[in-house]
């Protein structure tokens, strides 16, 4: 993972084969894709605060995990300082490192995690579990003024699928397994976990559980909260091991308390997760709707029907235009729009192309299931004035989904900012929430004296509502601090979620960035219960203090 950006070293976004993208970014936000990139600083030239680890703590940790698994070099410590939000990327490139961990340790099994925890508590150190470091809500950073030693506990050596129970359709997996690690091991035995967040390549099972993550096929497989049936967690009270049962009526759910706990209760070492046989058939079809409202109503009808797709996704008009702008020259997506679709939509269906919205629906399972679901969805799409355009764009989306995040670094290299905020709300509130969030973001752009754009898609449908995922980007004014503009826009979007019946996050968690809205979201009494839970388990505030609640 790059210390200054997203993903693998040597992999970067470029736009030269996407002729529509630079004009779109310039028109909508004044972002100049052809501007020369700013140079990412050399870490050696930045002032990384020195490790303050006391010798006693270091030697006790060496005893726990071995000398080669205790690191204190600048690069390793910087990589473990923040997650990957826009704030994190800006701060790290500026050399604003905050409180860098003093040591990074890599335990290999649960016994070593217990030894690390005991050592940390005995020394009154701060311990922060680290998965892939991909969170975008400030989940990982120690308080800037933390005077105690800070230790990042990286689960990166614990990445095995321990066993698959083919009868119960579950797997025991170590918490440090990255998406590709665990999926390759499961696929080799004919199984899948069915959890594919956009960060799949660089996030871990433990991180997914600790943030209540959601993958793009959640309509079929569930969110990680559904997928995770049992957990093992090393806590200051001992090892918590919930039973390997499908459901429990045994008081408040300890499994649920661990879900979303962001390292504040302990270190998750393994989980029992539901797994599924690899599907006989898998296809993503694309559709167009006359406008976002009709797309939302269609997704609602799909959720209420007997159809059971794996993905339901519809973009608003602005996101549709963005997606079209990312089409490669000569690709099936650009051919689609330049040829028949435009004419068909405009002339035959009477659709206003500026309002038209792109939708992807995924189908996965047996041939019969796929055929039946396609038929049911097709009828609903038609009822809402939509029409299908086949599997070409969906295949492209499926192939490129893990590459898209690299675009954030590309625009940051050109001095522009971009990020995402997402929420869930009831079917009854979705459209109004969408419109009010877009209005709030545009108002914030205007108040900050900047030109920007915001767009959205619905994804992850449920019985009673869905997630809406907003992306925003802007070119900060030449004068002033771009991060302050970012904070103002992000704040306006988050506040609009709460004011319009949404939650502070559907799947990105709380961390430190979303803390101001916890009281609104959970109620004041609810937030106090969460604080009391953390205080009861970890009275010394040694475990990731300051995440979720103070």
Ligand X SMILES: Cc1cc2nc3c(=O)[nH]c(=O)nc-3n(C[C@H](O)[C@H](O)[C@H](O)COP(=O)(O)OP(=O)(O)OC[C@H]3O[C@@H](n4cnc5c(N)ncnc54)[C@H](O)[C@@H]3O)c2cc1C
Q: How far is the CB of 479 from ligand X (least distance, A)?
A: 29
Q: How far is the CB of 338 from ligand X (least distance, A)?
A: 30
Considering the complex, state which of residue 84 and residue 297 has its C-beta at the smaller distance from ligand X: 84
Report the C-alpha dihedral over residues 31, 37, 43, 48, rounded to 10 degrees: -30
Beta strand pairing call for 126-130 and 191-192:
unpaired
Q: How far is the CB of 478 from ligand X (least distance, A)?
A: 28
Q: How far is the CB of 240 from ligand X (least distance, A)?
A: 11
Considering the complex, state which of residue 199 and residue 503 has its C-beta at the smaller distance from ligand X: 199
Q: How far apart are CA 34 and CA 15, in angstroms?
A: 9
Check 292, 363, 469, 486 and give the catalytic one. Answer: 469
Considering the complex, state which of residue 195 and residue 297 has its C-beta at the smaller distance from ligand X: 195
Q: How far is the CB of 473 from ligand X (least distance, A)?
A: 14
Considering the complex, state which of residue 64 and residue 345 has its C-beta at the smaller distance from ligand X: 64
CB neighbours of 304 closer than 8 A, spacing ≥ 6? Answer: 463
What SS3 string covers 512-532? CCCHHHHHHHHCHHHHHHHHH
Element (H, E) at 535: helix 524-537
Return the closest-CA partner of residue 530 out of 520, 540, 522.
522
* CB burial of residue 121 (10 Å; 0-12, 13-18, 19+): middle
Say how far residue 221 (Cα) sits from the centre of its chain.
17
Q: How far is the CB of 335 from ligand X (least distance, A)?
A: 28
Q: How far is the CB of 178 from ligand X (least distance, A)?
A: 8
Q: How far apart are CA 216 and CA 284, in angstroms?
A: 12
Q: How far apart are CA 32 and CA 317, in angstroms?
A: 22
Structure tokens at 91: 């701060």
Element (H, E) at 151: strand 150-154
Active site residue 82: no
Q: How far apart are CA 83 and CA 71, in angstroms?
A: 19
Considering the complex, state which of residue 170 and residue 199 has its C-beta at the smaller distance from ligand X: 199
Cβ 327 vs Cβ 18: under 8 Å: yes
DSSP 8-state symbol, 503: -
Considering the complex, state which of residue 338 and residue 535 has its C-beta at the smaller distance from ligand X: 535
Residues making contact with ligand X (CB under 6 A)? 6, 83-84, 128-136, 139-140, 155, 175, 197-199, 203-204, 206-208, 210-211, 213-214, 262-263, 267-268, 405, 507-509, 544, 547
Q: How far apart are CA 427 and CA 364, in angstroms?
A: 24
Considering the complex, state which of residue 435 and residue 521 has its C-beta at the smaller distance from ligand X: 521
The dihedral of CA 292, 296, 299, 301: what is its sign? negative
Which residue sits closest to ligand X, CB atoms considered?
A: 207
Positions marked catalytic: 469
């Amino acid at each position: 993972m790059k210390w200054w950006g997203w993903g693998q070293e040597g992999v970067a976004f470029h736009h030269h084969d996407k002729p529509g993208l630079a004009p779109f970014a310039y028109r909508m936000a004044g972002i100049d894709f052809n501007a020369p990139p700013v140079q990412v600083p050399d870490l050696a030239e930045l002032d990384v605060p020195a490790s303050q680890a006391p010798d006693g703590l270091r030697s006790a940790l060496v005893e726990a995990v071995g000398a080669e698994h205790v690191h204190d070099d600048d690069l390793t410590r910087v990589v473990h300082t923040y997650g990957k939000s826009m704030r994190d990327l800006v701060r790290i490139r500026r050399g604003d490192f905050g409180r860098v961990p003093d040591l990074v340790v890599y335990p290999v099994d649960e016994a070593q995690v217990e030894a690390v925890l005991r050592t940390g508590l005995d020394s009154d150190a701060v311990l922060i579990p680290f998965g892939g470091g991909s969170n975008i809500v400030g989940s990982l950073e120690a308080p800037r003024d933390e005077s105690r030693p800070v230790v990042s506990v990286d689960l990166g050596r614990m990445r095995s699928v321990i066993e698959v129970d083919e009868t119960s359709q579950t797997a025991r997996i170590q918490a440090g397994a990255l998406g590709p690690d665990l999926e390759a091991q499961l696929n080799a035995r004919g199984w899948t976990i069915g959890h594919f967040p956009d960060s799949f390549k660089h996030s871990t099972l433990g991180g997914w559980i600790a943030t209540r993550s959601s993958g793009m096929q959640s309509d079929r497989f569930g969110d990680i909260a559904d997928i995770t049936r049992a957990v093992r967690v090393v806590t200051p009270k001992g090892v918590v091991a919930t039973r390997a049962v499908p459901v429990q009526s045994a008081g408040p759910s300890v499994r649920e308390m661990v879900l979303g706990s962001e390292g504040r209760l302990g270190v998750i070492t393994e989980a029992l997760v539901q797994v599924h046989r690899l599907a006989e058939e898998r296809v993503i079809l694309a559709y167009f709707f006359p406008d976002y409202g009709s797309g939302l109503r269609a997704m609602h009808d799909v959720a209420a029907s007997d159809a059971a797709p794996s993905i339901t996704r519809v973009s608003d008009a602005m996101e549709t235009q963005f997606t079209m702008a990312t089409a490669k020259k000569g690709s099936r997506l650009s051919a689609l729009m330049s040829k028949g679709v435009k004419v068909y939509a405009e002339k035959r269906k009477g659709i206003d192309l500026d309002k038209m919205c792109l939708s992807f629906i995924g189908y996965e399972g047996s041939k019969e299931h796929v055929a039946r679901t396609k038929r049911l969805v097709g009828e609903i799409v038609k009822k809402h004035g939509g029409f299908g355009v086949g599997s070409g764009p969906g295949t492209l989306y499926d192939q490129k989904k893990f590459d898209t995040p690299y675009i954030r670094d590309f625009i940051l290299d050109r001095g522009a900012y971009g990020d995402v905020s997402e929420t869930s709300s009831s079917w009854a509130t979705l459209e109004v929430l969408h419109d009010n969030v877009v209005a709030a973001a545009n108002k914030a752009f205007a108040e900050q004296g900047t030109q920007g754009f915001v767009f959205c898609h619905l994804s992850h449908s449920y019985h009673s509502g869905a997630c809406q995922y907003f992306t925003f980007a802007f070119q900060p004014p030449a004068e002033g601090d771009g991060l302050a503009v970012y904070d103002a826009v992000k704040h306006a979007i988050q506040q609009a979620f709460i004011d319009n019946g949404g939650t502070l996050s559907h799947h990105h968690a709380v961390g430190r960035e979303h803390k101001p809205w916890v009281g609104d979201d959970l109620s004041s009494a609810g937030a106090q219960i969460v604080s009391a839970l953390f205080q009861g388990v970890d009275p010394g505030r040694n475990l990731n203090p300051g995440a979720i609640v103070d």
